[in-house]
Amino acid sequence: MPGMKLPLLATLLMTIGASVAFAQSERPNVVVMMVDNTGWGELGVHGGGVLRGAPTPRLDELAAEGMQF
């Protein structure tokens, strides 16, 4: 059993180090918007906005900075 202490200690330290590194990684921010009475083409990012009579500059900015689904 004395020969098992070093590999066990090394494994334990690697596991702790990996978990700390994983915990410090940045997680993405997710924004989910639910709206009523808004069609796909009414937002500026999808071709609407000012052309449809309702400018959406803040939503256009969010869409430009992020990922769309």
Q: What is the pLDDT along the chain (69 residues), one digit of tens a residue?
A: 567 778 787 887 778 776 666 666 677 777 788 888 877 777 888 888 777 777 888 888 888 888 776
Number of domains in the chain: 1
What 3 state SS string does the chain have? CHHHHHHHHHHHHHHHHHHHHHHCCCCCCCCCCCCCCCCHHHCHHHCCHHHHCCCCHHHHHHHHHCCCC
The whole domain housing 38 covers 2-65
pLDDT at 52: 78
